[in-house]
Amino acid sequence: MTEMSTSTLRADRDWWRGAVIYQIYPRSYQDSNGDGIGDLKGIVARLPHIAALGADAIWISPFFTSPMKDFGYDVSNYSDVDPIFGSLADFDAVIAEAHRLGIRVMIDLVLSHTSDQHPWFVESRSSRTNARADWYVWADSKPDGTPPNNWLSIFGGSAWAWDPTRLQYYMHNFLTSQPDLNLHNPDVQDALLGVERFWLERGVDGFRLDTINFYFHDKQLRDNPALAPERRNAQTAPAVNPYNYQEHLYDKNQPENLEFLKRFRAVMDEFPAIAAVGEVGDSQRGLEIAGEYTSGGDKMQMCYAFEFLAPDPLTPATVAEVLRNFQKAAPEGWACWAFSNHDVVRHVSRWGRGVADRDAHAKLLASLLMSLRGSVCIYQGEELALSEAELAYEDLKDPYGIQFWPDFKGRDGCRTPMVWDAGAVNGGFGSARPWLPVPAEHLQRAVSAQQGDQASVLEHYRRFLHFRKAYPAFAKGEIEFLDTDGQVLAFVRSYGNEKLFCLFNMSGERATGILPNEPVSALEGHGFTAEVKDRTVNLPAWGAYFARLV
């Protein structure tokens, strides 16, 4: 077990507020044993990179025992490590080394569903009368044999699969091999809280909670209503997916979830300095739900919705609208923002079509993300400005992409291996052929190619994280947006007596911004340059300016 007494971390219950959390997709981070798959020992070896970056915490995507139909998001044993990733002792080593380096460890808990190979489901499907018969969402067919309602799976088709043993349907919001747990059953809740406690006792500092608004379903199994075409968007599912054609009133987002989240929080509060961030997957009510789940100080510390993970172009108006809407929906709440993760097209590709200076664009987006009110998630490779990989159909592993190819190419393009050494085989990821190919264009952006080059994206991330930590207003302050024109975004971050003016040119052309009508003192150390004449700030393409209001 990890000896927490050796930790260099302070027991700060508020550490999460404004934290920068680095997401690790373990299959693709570092292969230590030459099997083509990243593992926990590989994470240990690369933790110094994260410490040098300046992140406060890591979030590790699932490493639990799994048949890997959805690459770990289909858990068959919540309390053990899958052998492809290592062992519990290897996980303890991750905790110990991260804490030695001053990094907190958050793990990804998938509580809405399990693998169909989990012993709970194997027992549940064996009969209608066994001890776990009600641990999953089972329902009789309609008289004509069709599913009990019109609910749809995010991965395509009906959210119901027929089981020939029970002669009933079971619910699956994702793959048919990912049956949904029935959290209306208090025994299921108790079992999941036991999983939470197992990992807290092992030394984790918190959780990222997958699909947090999918935990409960409508007991009456009412049909979802149709969603008007003008209200459809592709935040939660790609545009080619009919999932977007429904308003998901009854298959998720149920009010009973609030009481379960309070139970989950109560367990966290038994331990020092624990925090959780919930993933809210809903295209219409995401910010509102995030507000509900982070209100009152008795549920989640943080949530994130999909507004900045959507394909829509990022503009100053969009940024201001999203932040204002969150403040309105969650006056007591706290957001955790991300531009990229393991499920969406990498943001330098998603928003970078037609951009001439890719590095300047990446630096501007990183600085903007880390200047917003809220905590921050950085996805591995983002600090290198890795682009979305273009993979051949025969290289795909993601069932989502295989299902909707070629209109939607799935999630493999953002999950290719991390590139460490431009001159090493497989970019330094490992000696064997990786589970996904390493794109040739990524090699020139490897850590070895950027480290020490002060003009590189990697060094900008390091520099800006260091700059950010020098001013508490960035991490914990309020935000006030100022009126601007065109592609310029301006806001003030304030905390106590500290007020910081932030100006961003979100375009590839030169632009100007206006200073507030009060004395300012320009800040340095962030890596941007701008000309100031009178009260006008002349910004280069993808430029930024920061000052203290005095």
Phi-psi region of 54 (alpha: psi -120 to 50; beta: other; left: phi over 0): left
Joined together, the tokens standing for residue 416 give 């290719």
How far apart, in whole angstroms, are the C-alpha atoms of residue 228 and residue 246? 8
Which distant-in-sequence residues (6+ apart) come within 8 Å of 357 by Cβ? 508, 541, 542
Amino acid letter for position 263: R
User: Helix axis angle, 186-202 relative to 88-100, nearest 10°?
Assistant: 60
Please answer whether residues 252 and 282 qualify as being in contact, where contact means their C-beta atoms are separated by less than 8 angstroms: yes
406 cis-preceded (ω within 30 degrees of 0): yes
How far apart, in whole angstroms, are the C-alpha atoms of residue 255 and residue 259? 8
Q: Would you please indicate which residues are annotated as catalytic (active-site) residues?
A: 210, 270
User: How open is the CA angle 372-375-376, to the nearest 5 degrees?
Assistant: 85
Closest CA relative to residue 63, chosen from 41, 46, 45, 48: 41
Please answer whether residues 361 and 352 qualify as being in contact, where contact means their C-beta atoms are separated by less than 8 angstroms: yes
Provide the 8-state DSSP code for 335.
Answer: B
User: Helix axis angle, 40-53 relative to 88-100, nearest 10°?
Assistant: 10
Of how many residues is the chain composed? 550
How far apart, in whole angstroms, are the C-alpha atoms of residue 380 and residue 26? 10
Q: In what order do the strands lie in the sheet with 302-304?
A: 302-304, 275-279, 206-209, 104-109, 57-60, 20-24, 375-379, 336-338
Closest CA relative to residue 368, chosen from 316, 326, 414: 316
Joined together, the tokens standing for residue 223 give 């049909």
Beta strands in 134-193 (DSSP E): 138-139, 160-163, 168-171
How far apart, in whole angstroms, are the C-alpha atoms of residue 196 and residue 174? 23
In a 3-state reduction of DSSP, which class is residue 308? Answer: helix
3-state secondary structure 203-242: CCCEEEECCHHHCCCCCCCCCCCECCHHHCCCCCCCCCCH
